[in-house]
């Protein structure tokens, strides 16, 4: 009998969706669905009786929309909220609003083929709820994160064979960033605080298909950098940040003196696609000591092995600290794997990037221009 189960409230006007999600969470002995309601009005009534640890929330519902409800919750009693959204452009735009309003993460809304949804998404959904329950929100009590016995996770070997690089140091530099739960907020602090002369940046943010494009567009609108969802064979150049598309792996390749990204299908690696481990391994092989690897907030261990491979290849490596991480999972695992040279608070990461590449940038005065937040 598991004590102190993670209490989950489902808020969605689709009975099929609520049933599918309840079925998934019933597989986890440490998760308990305490309510399943059709809209925020019923949710507020249910929450008067028992407050949940995590809310799984639809965004389009009758009587009160999810964004309004989310803002109300965050103003009155901040609670981890997962947005359950459809894989549509409209859904992705609304979900970006929810993330800005304080939602912790996104999960795909099951529509048809519920049996297949349960088989493919159960482990990821359960881990996402556990990550949300551990979110670093000051006014809620953190729950212990427990793991089920599951099938072994695939490693980056599924996409790219391991191997060292013999590349000499050059003036062409690359920044590789990996992040998950809480990463949307973290990237909104880091990337807009970088100048256009910064080396090319490649980013894996765990996010479902179609949402990454809206996220990249939002980042682009508030940044000096050119930020876009990556396409196959996009060049990695100074002043540009490429976000891995949801549902695809992104790898770095070097042809001559130029870096490119390759966008590929493939199995889930560390239960994710895109996977940080896949990106980091490819950066270790293609860029070696010419790269900087940064791992930030997120649940699980994706990226920990890849960052160690970057470290072993001579790259500089950084990790976000526990105090500023929404979930101190991925950075902690990276530290435990011995691949982290320095642990930094989130607001110090832009400054560190500029310090590391000050010689390549050639403008020392830029160090003083990083905005304080």
Exactly one of 30, 53, 301, 302 is catalytic; which is it? 302
Residue with tokens 């691949």: 339
Residue 287 dihedral angles phi and psi, to the nearest 5°: -120, -30
Q: How far is CA 203 from CA 20, 41, 229, 230, 270, in A?
A: 32, 38, 10, 9, 16
Strand arrangement of the beta sheet that strand 291-295 belongs to: 226-229, 240-243, 200-205, 174-179, 291-295, 316-320, 342-344
Exactly one of 53, 206, 223, 275 is catalytic; which is it? 206
Active site residue 172: no
Exactly one of 36, 85, 92, 180 is catalytic; which is it? 180
Count of Cβ atoms closer than 10 Å to residue 353 Cβ: 24
d(CA 303, CA 307): 6
Active site residue 14: no
Residue with tokens 């894989």: 87
Strand partners of residue 236: 259
Identify the helix (H) or strand (E) that includes residue 68. helix 66-76
Active site residue 206: yes
- Active-site positions read 180, 206, 302
């Amino acid at each position: 009998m598991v004590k102190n189960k993670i209490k989950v409230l489902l808020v969605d006007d689709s009975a099929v969706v609520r049933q599918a999600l309840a079925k998934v969470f019933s597989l986890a002995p440490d998760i308990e669905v305490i309510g399943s309601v059709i809209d925020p009005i019923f949710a507020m009534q249910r929450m008067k009786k028992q407050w949940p640890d995590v809310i799984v929330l639809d965004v389009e519902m009758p009587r009160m929309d999810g964004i309004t409800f989310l803002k109300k919750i965050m103003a009155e009693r901040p609670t981890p909220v997962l947005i359950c959204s459809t894989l549509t452009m409209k859904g992705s735009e609304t979900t970006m609003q929810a993330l800005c309003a304080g939602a912790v993460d996104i999960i795909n809304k099951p529509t048809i083929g519920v049996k297949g949804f349960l088989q493919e998404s159960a482990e990821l959904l359960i881990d996402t709820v556990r990550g949300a329950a551990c979110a670093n929100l000051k006014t809620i009590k953190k729950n212990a994160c427990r793991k089920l016995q599951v099938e072994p996770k695939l490693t980056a070997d599924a996409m790219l064979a391991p191997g060292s690089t013999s590349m000499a140091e050059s003036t062409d530099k690359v920044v590789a960033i990996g992040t998950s739960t809480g990463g949307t907020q973290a990237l909104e602090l880091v990337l807009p605080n970088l100048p256009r002369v910064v080396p090319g940046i490649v980013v894996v943010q765990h996010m479902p298909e179609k949402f990454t494009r809206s996220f990249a567009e939002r980042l682009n609108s508030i940044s000096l950098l050119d930020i876009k969802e990556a396409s196959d064979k996009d060049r990695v150049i100074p002043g540009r940040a490429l976000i891995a598309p949801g549902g695809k792996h992104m790898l770095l390749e070097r042809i001559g003196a130029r870096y490119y990204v390759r966008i590929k299908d493939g199995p889930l690696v560390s239960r994710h696609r895109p996977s940080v481990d896949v990106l980091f391994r490819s950066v270790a092989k293609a860029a070696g000591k010419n790269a900087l690897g940064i791992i930030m907030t997120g649940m699980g261990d994706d990226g920990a092995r890849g960052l160690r491979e970057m470290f072993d290849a001579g790259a500089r490596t950084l990790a976000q600290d526990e105090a500023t991480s929404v979930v101190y999972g991925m950075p902690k695992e990276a530290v435990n794997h011995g691949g982290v040279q320095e642990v930094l608070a989130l607001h110090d990461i832009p400054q560190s990037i500029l310090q590391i590449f000050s010689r390549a940038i050639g403008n020392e005065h830029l160090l003083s221009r990083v905005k304080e937040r």
